[in-house]
């Protein structure tokens, strides 16, 4: 590294440190940070054995602590506020917009009662193939496979490991799949004598249409989260369009939504820059949501970035302050 590069690095580190010392309260007063969008998935008293190495599930008590902190920082923002912004009817709202992805049943059973008691609106982005427990989420399916392999007799486990090896995967790699490889997952499931349909009927892990209607009546919002949760950047363009259109149309048709909001599964990283404006131009979606953190997106209000908040180490305040400080320094470098 050159002397100049070293100096720049030291200056950046000093600025980030200063921002962290100033705290989230000061950083949130900056114009660029008027809207923060915390993202969660589910809230459960305990983490199920089949969960695997995903994000950490917060308990109801932990989630309430997070929520109280967000309320100390600002006012909750609703989906209607963001839709009005996207339609040019208002300026960017100030506060926090809370959303949850995937569509686990705890949104209805655990999360919604807490939010109603606190008076906080939220949006729930649904992976539509999971609605009414019609299908199993592939991440849950591989978690069940891993659990079955650990319990299986040595011969069965060796057969499953051999099949994984043929596919060029280890068990650890299987658990980190971010693309729904349904044929392989189905073969492993059959080999281990798993019954996903029985598991769905018994566990009922995902929200139902009836529960979604009740959530809407209670003032919450729904959005689409694709059909089966693929990594968009790895799909051909026509499949990106199909996943977006079909999931959005199903929710609009079934629940009579008068807005169109879509959250990218695994974020919009690596996606063609023209995808969002082209889908907006076609009327397929009004506002998209990514997972790029706290820094505003240049495509806002058509693409709004969110900050994943389940894996923070230490306090939520420290975690958010760190992200805000990094974003503040980045904005200084760009002269914003």
Which residue has 């799909």 as its token pair? 235
Pick the CATH number of 3-83+94-131+222-249+258-333 from 3.40.50.10470, 3.20.20.370, 3.90.650.10, 3.40.50.300: 3.20.20.370
The SS3 assignment for 88 reads coil
Q: Which tokens go with 18?
A: 């200063």
What per-residue confidence (pLDDT) applies to 5? 46
C-alpha 115/C-alpha 107 separation (Å) is 10
Q: How many angstroms separate the Cα of 178 from the Cα of each of 59, 158, 302?
A: 25, 24, 25
What per-residue confidence (pLDDT) applies to 222? 98
What per-residue confidence (pLDDT) applies to 260? 98
C-alpha 159/C-alpha 155 separation (Å) is 6
Model-wide pTM > 0.75: yes
Prior bond of 301 cis (ω within 30°): yes
What per-residue confidence (pLDDT) applies to 333? 64
Averaged pLDDT, groups of 10, the chain, 336 residues long: 51 54 73 87 95 92 96 96 97 96 98 98 98 96 94 93 92 86 92 95 97 98 97 96 98 98 96 96 97 90 96 84 84 62
Task: Check: CB of residue 329 under 8 Å from CB of residue 82.
Answer: no
Where b means 16+ CB within 10 Å and e means fewer, 85-108 reads bbeeeeeebbbbbbbbbbbbbbbb
């Amino acid at each position: 590294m050159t002397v100049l590069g070293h100096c720049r690095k030291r200056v950046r580190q000093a600025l980030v440190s200063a921002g962290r010392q100033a705290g989230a309260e000061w950083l949130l007063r900056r114009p660029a940070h008027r809207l923060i969008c915390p993202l969660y998935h589910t809230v459960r008293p305990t983490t199920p054995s089949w969960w695997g190495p995903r994000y950490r599930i917060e308990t109801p008590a932990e989630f309430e602590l997070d929520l109280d902190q967000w309320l100390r920082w600002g006012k909750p923002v609703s989906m209607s506020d963001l839709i009005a912004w996207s339609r040019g009817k208002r300026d960017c709202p100030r506060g926090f917009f809370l959303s949850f992805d995937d569509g686990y049943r705890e949104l209805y059973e655990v999360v919604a009662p807490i939010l109603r008691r606190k008076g906080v609106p939220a949006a729930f982005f649904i992976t539509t193939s999971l609605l009414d427990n019609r299908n199993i989420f592939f991440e849950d399916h591989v978690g069940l496979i891993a659990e079955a392999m650990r319990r299986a007799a040595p011969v069965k486990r060796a057969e499953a490991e051999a099949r994984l090896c043929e596919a060029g995967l280890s068990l650890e790699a299987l658990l980190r799949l971010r693309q729904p490889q349904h044929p392989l997952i189905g073969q492993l499931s059959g080999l281990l004598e798993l019954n996903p349909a029985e598991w769905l009927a018994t566990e009922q892990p995902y929200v139902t249409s009836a529960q979604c209607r009740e959530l809407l009546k209670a003032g919450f919002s729904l959005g689409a989260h694709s059909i089966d949760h693929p990594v968009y950047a790895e799909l051909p363009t026509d499949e990106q369009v199909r996943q977006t259109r079909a999931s959005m149309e199903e929710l609009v048709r079934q629940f009579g939504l008068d807005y169109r909001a879509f959250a990218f599964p695994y974020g919009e990283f690596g996606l063609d820059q023209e995808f969002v404006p082209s889908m907006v131009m076609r009327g397929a979606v009004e506002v998209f949501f990514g997972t790029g953190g706290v820094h505003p997106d240049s495509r806002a209000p058509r693409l709004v970035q969110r900050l994943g908040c389940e894996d923070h180490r230490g306090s939520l305040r420290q975690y958010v302050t760190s992200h805000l400080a990094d974003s503040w320094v980045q904005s200084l470098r760009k002269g914003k």
